[in-house]
């Protein structure tokens, strides 16, 4: 694909929002894609794939770079270590391909840099799992994850959703012991689909989809999800309870709970009550629930 400045600018702007402004990667990508309605599907895929790729390999990119504060330079480094050519633009005039690839070759000899791990995590993983097992583990962690959908059984089922997506040339396949899961054959953004806007599905990792069934839920239960975040598991719990009962979804960050409210409305879920975590709220819930979900620690390590 031929590089266009508009797309590279979109990638570097997104990277700036993530690393300089502290924005979550998915939200930064979403904001930048929404800012330009002229981006086509290939453009959007290029931006998302390169942003997530740079985030995943951020330490390796920086260790291979000569100018760590120049986002255009870092993008060029990313292209070169992927084996792609950098265009002859003014922004790339000072790029020294041989020097960058030489630094990359040296960086690749050190596991924590090659796999873009913080020092503390590499040391902890190696000590707890052993060097050989940890090597295999981090290699898997750095692979691009499958995009897994969770069918909202309040509104549809896997067979119906698969057919609706197939009619739009979006191929999926079921996932073993996950009755509500469909895996995308080809990674792509689905947020513009009517099926997404109507709440027929959510994007949720396969491992996360194992939690609600494990809880042996029944209709009309009271469930406390005490580390709910943006509510992926709370929403799944609601569908397992057929939207009958009561779910108290708690978190320390109000913005996450606001996102949960939006997702619940989209999915037709009306049994979720959000609550900021504080000592008073916790004390009031003593002996009040049939199930308590504590998804801790919130490490964000995958």
Q: How does the average pLDDT of the chain come out, rounded?
A: 93
Residue 283 to residue 207: CA distance in whole angstroms: 31
**pLDDT tens digits for range 277-293:** 988 888 888 889 999 99
**pLDDT tens digits for range 132-189:** 999 999 988 888 888 999 999 999 999 999 999 999 999 999 998 899 999 999 988 7
The structure tokens listed for 219 are: 């209709």
Residues 57 and 132 in one domain: yes
Residues 188 and 239 in one domain: no
Q: Which of 241, 230, 249 is nearest to 152 (CA)?
A: 241
Residues 110 and 175 in one domain: no
Residues 195 and 216 in one domain: no
Contact 199, 152 (CB under 8 A): yes
Residues 32 and 81 in one domain: yes
Within a domain: 32: yes
Phi-psi group of 166: left, alpha or beta (phi > 0 → left; psi -120 to 50 → alpha; rest → beta): alpha
Q: Which of 270, 227, 229, 273 is nearest to 247 (CA)?
A: 273
Read off the CATH number of the domain in which 121 is found. 1.10.940
Domain of 48 in residue numbering reads as 5-141
Residue 247 to residue 297: CA distance in whole angstroms: 21
């Amino acid at each position: 694909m031929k590089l266009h400045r508009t797309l590279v600018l979109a990638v570097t702007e997104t990277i700036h929002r993530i690393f300089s402004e502290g924005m979550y990667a998915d939200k930064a990508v979403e904001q930048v894609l929404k800012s330009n309605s002229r981006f086509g599907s290939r453009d959007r895929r290029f931006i998302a794939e390169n942003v997530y790729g740079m985030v995943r390999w951020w330490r390796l990119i920086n260790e291979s770079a000569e100018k760590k504060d120049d986002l255009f330079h870092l993008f060029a480094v990313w292209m070169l270590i992927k084996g792609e050519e950098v265009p002859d633009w003014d922004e790339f005039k000072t790029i020294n391909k041989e020097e960058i690839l030489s630094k990359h070759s040296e960086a690749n000899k050190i596991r924590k840099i090659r796999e873009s791990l913080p020092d503390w995590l590499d040391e902890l993983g190696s000590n707890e799992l052993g060097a050989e097992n940890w090597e295999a583990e981090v290699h898997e962690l750095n692979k691009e994850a499958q995009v897994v959908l969770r069918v909202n059984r309040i509104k549809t089922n896997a067979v119906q959703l698969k057919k609706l997506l197939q009619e739009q040339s979006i191929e999926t396949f079921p996932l073993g012991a996950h009755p509500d899961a469909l895996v995308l054959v080809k990674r792509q953004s689905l947020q513009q689909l009517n099926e997404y806007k109507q709440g027929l599905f959510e994007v949720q990792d396969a491992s996360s989809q194992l939690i609600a069934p494990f809880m042996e839920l029944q209709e009309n239960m009271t469930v406390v999800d005490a580390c709910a975040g943006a509510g992926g598991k709370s929403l799944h719990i609601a569908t397992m309870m057929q939207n009958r009962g009561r779910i108290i979804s708690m978190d320390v960050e109000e913005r996450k709970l606001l996102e949960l409210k939006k997702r619940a409305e989209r999915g037709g879920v009306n049994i979720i009550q959000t609550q900021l975590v504080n000592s008073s709220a916790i004390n009031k819930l003593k002996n009040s629930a049939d199930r308590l979900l504590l998804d801790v620690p919130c490490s964000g390590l995958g």
